[in-house]
Chains A and B, each alone.
Chain A
Amino acid sequence: MMEMFKGRNIRPWRFLVQIGAVLFIIGQSYGLPPFGTYPIFRRIFLPNASCRYINDAPTSCYYYQVQDGFTTGFATNYVDVAIMLAVVVLLIILLGRFWCSWLCPFGLVQEGFEKLRELLGIPRYRLKWKQRILLRRVKYTIIFLTVLISIPIGISALGLTSCQSTFALPFCQVCPAKGFFLITQQIFGAEPWSNKLPLIAIASLVVFSVSAFFLPMAFCRICPMGGLMALFGRTSLPLLKKDPDKCTKCRICARVCPLDHDRVYEDMEKDDVGGEDCTLCGKCVEYCPEEGCLSINYGPFTLTSSKRPRTRNTFLGRFRKGGGDT
């Protein structure tokens, strides 16, 4: 039904990659074959929400390791943290925000919520401009607060080490991914059933579910991992590009964007229109009706670019009204 309104079809490919990433990152704890249990992966931490609380996960989000490193790293002069961060930055520069919309398991979960809303025919909630700016700041505030809380706990001279059991991993305590993966693991029997889930995790999971249902990619807007990636948004190799000459300013890109990234629509000078909100999901490229106006590039290479919507002469299409050559 919807293919009539698309020029390029990126979504199916993205879905395949996402499924692959999920199988690789969290599959084995849900009883699937262990794709990613090679030791090398236990040393590399990913810049996306692949959760530490999944049993036997080969790797985890780097943010857990950062918090952990800050709380315990005083003794080792933070060398471990620095090395790990360097690796993460390298990964970010290599794959940019493909980590978000193509490889993040939690992103897939949110798109599931979005799909459910679409099937029920409920319109999405649109953030006001002020709210968007606020959420952008929240993202960086979270990073700042995490560091602010983690480091003093690790410094033994301050005598706060006794707080470690409560305040270590401050972000993980409120991260909805923790609640989500713990509960689903229990449901799928990967972990014994227990009712010891902290109240705060349940609360944040509820808040997350409701907001992800009405607001597409709700968590991505405040995700601190995304925040770090946003800092490298323009230096990483994958880029969203626009040919301003071909743009007709029809605002389709701004309307379909799940993250309300409006630079694609606004910017008419620079050709690099990605930025701190863009997760490179390619939805604007799919829907842009101008030939070659928007494109996703990897360094100098163009991976895909927008195309004029065409009626496809499918077998079924002949029986449909309004489409197809007659």
Chain B
Amino acid sequence: MKEKRTSRYLKDKDGYFSEEQIDRTKKRSREMEEASRTRLTSQKVRAKTLTYFDEIMKYDGARSQELSDFQGKGGKIIGTMCVMVPLELINASGAKNVRLCSGYYEPVHPANELLGDAGLCPMVKSTLGSKMVNANPITNNINMVVGPATCDGKMKLAEILEDWVPVVMMNIPRVKIGETSSDIWVKEIEYLSRKLEEVTGKRISKRALVNEIKKWNRGHELWSKMLDIRRSKRPTISGQDAMLVVQASQMDDIERWNKKTSQLISELQDMQKKGMIAGEDGAARILLAGSPMMYPNFKIPAIVEESGGTIVHDELCSGFRLMSDPVMLDGITRKGIMRGLAERYFFPCTCPCFSPNDERIRRIKESIEAFGIEGVVFHTLRGCHLSNIEATKIELELRDIGIPMVKLESEYDEGDIEQVRTRVEAFIEMIKARRENEGI
């Protein structure tokens, strides 16, 4: 492991931020998380099992305690940054995985102090800020960060994080050309596995890898059952809750997550039999697309669902895409497993950092048909150029098939909340009016 180095960026790093500022960041983060949780728990129809997932994602909850206990016993915790990091590999090396991408608003300020207000994506700033002032107990004590070089923000974030924690950067090919890119990515995955073995001091065995893949495949299977529930005419889970559940998989032990999710699914199915429905009757069916929304930054989904829409599907790397594809293995050679893993995390991924990215449009169109979507809410974080550019392309394509789309640009603060609400309410009203017109 590397020695602790002095920061190149902030002179006298340990004493740079005053105690007061650190405390304020922590306090505001806690308040924000509590507010988000109250918003979730105050939904009228909500399955009881979801409290477990609340607990996992809670600021300073039982999970952060569990992780620090695990680390105290010599376990390693690996922070991941994008959906392209094979979590099976991390778990097979005996380490636990934690998604670093932060949804807390307050840590943006310490990062601003370092970078200046660089017009950068707030998620990147928040992630950096959380690390700078140790604001988030779950992601505080990580032993290593795995950062694929995806979008510009994430790429440079990983580079800067080097100062606080060892980082493994992975070179992800941004153009998917069959075998060439696959070969590069497989080699990067092998490099990651070597690095993981170095950190944990444990060899990643084939058997452990296959076992972990099975667990995550089980997770995929459960998630697709969840999609079936959301696809139905009367979904019993709201879009925010579904996003919470799938994001919890990134923080939780996958085996326990599987157990709880299958409980949740049977509860949701029971609720469906009783005729319950999440959100209002006759709500507009909305697809959420665009930049990621990490808990507790559930501003936009909350607004959508409060204004008479139900998010029945999403196309976010903080939602549906986390669990969307299983790893299929046709042989159990080590090389074959690595290739299977690598390709599962690379080819089906429709992150806008890939180009050309026609798959994304096709998949949005396909889910519009399958889920009976009536309108698309496209959300971009400020400074997310990739999503911004794709939004135009997607809007044009959606216009051809007659699906309305609203594009919302947001920052990490509550300042624009009323403005967004007005636009979303108008959008949903328009959808409902359209429905009536077509009915006549």
Contact = CB atoms under 8 A, between A and B. Distances in A.
A265 interface: yes
A326 B362 CA distance: 36
Interface string A237-275: 000000011101111101110000010011010000000
A260 B285 CA distance: 41
Nearest to B336: A123
Interface of A: 1-2, 4-6, 118, 121-124, 126, 129, 244-246, 248-252, 254-256, 262, 265-266, 268, 283, 287, 289, 308-311, 321-323, 325-326
B233 interface: no
Contact of A325 (B262, B330, B335): B262
Contact of B330 (A4, A246, A251, A255): A255
A129 B255 CA distance: 40
Given A118-B331, A118-B332, A248 B359 contact: yes
Contacts, number: 101
Given A308-B224, A310-B221, A323-B218, A248 B348 contact: yes
**How would you classify the secondary structure of chain A's contact residues: helix, strand, loop or mixed?**
loop
B218 A254 contact: no
Contacts of A289: 325-326, 328
Interface residues of B, number: 43
B328 A283 contact: no
Interface stretch (B37-45, B72-80, B161-169, B339-347): B339-347
A273 B433 CA distance: 43
Nearest to B333: A123
Nearest to B262: A325
B359 A252 contact: no
B324 interface: yes
Given A5-B217, A252-B344, A326-B262, 19 more contacts: A1-B210, A1-B332, A5-B327, A122-B333, A123-B331, A124-B331, A244-B362, A248-B363, A249-B176, A250-B347, A250-B348, A251-B347, A255-B330, A268-B362, A283-B330, A311-B221, A321-B211, A326-B258, A326-B259
B221 A255 contact: no
A265 B255 CA distance: 32
A151 to B, nearest CB: 40
24 contacts: A2-B332, A4-B214, A5-B326, A5-B327, A5-B330, A122-B333, A123-B336, A244-B362, A245-B362, A245-B366, A245-B369, A248-B325, A248-B348, A249-B359, A251-B348, A255-B330, A255-B343, A256-B330, A268-B362, A322-B215, A323-B214, A323-B218, A325-B262, A326-B259
A158 to B, nearest CB: 47
A309 B326 contact: yes
Interface of B: 176, 178-179, 182, 210-215, 217-218, 221, 224, 255, 258-259, 262, 324-336, 339-340, 343-344, 347-348, 359, 362-363, 365-366, 369
B6 to A, nearest CB: 44
A217 to B, nearest CB: 13
A12 to B, nearest CB: 15
Nearest to B366: A245
A121 B212 CA distance: 19
A202 B275 CA distance: 73
Interface-centre pick from A6, A254, A326 (highest chain B CB count, 10 A)? A326
A255 B186 CA distance: 13
A254 B339 CA distance: 12
